[in-house]
Structure 1
């Protein structure tokens, strides 16, 4: 995802814990040392990004924009994104062979 001056932030949930991928990150914290970069990214994720996502979800639910049909669209989009990443990785590996 991109957010403000941050071009790419990969946020994942691992074992019910929010994690940020430092290696794939691109943005305003790139010039920081690894510890400061990690701390700033976690603060950004927990204090800015997650609350915005929760608020948007809540607003959509209140406005009845998030329903079963929208959920199915969301899941299909996630599936398509995952499939594309797998295909890209597979193609990358095949080029190396």
Structure 2
């Protein structure tokens, strides 16, 4: 029974490792950060991806050091897992807003 459990664990690990995507980042690139904490808030239309951050340095084993170029203290940086990032292809996002005027009848 112990051997069958070990074989099962190996197959599950191989399956999950196959699903991981290889991402290659370079310093200076703009990336979006996946924010998993937004799941706590209500509203389906909230984006799970945070604004573009700039890569300061790529560490070993997929860790990436980020900094926010828009913040006032640009010397602050933090390290995140590279699996939580995706490349930002740039460009301004045009956000549409609709205002409805309601009148009492």
Give TM class, smaller chain.
under 0.3
Between structures 1 and 2, the one with greater strand share: 2
Between structures 1 and 2, the one with greater helix share: 1
Q: TM-score scaled to structure 2, two decimals?
A: 0.26
Q: TM-score scaled to structure 1, two decimals?
A: 0.28
Pair member with larger Rg? 2
Greater length-normalized contact order (CA 8 Å, ≥ 6 residues apart): 2
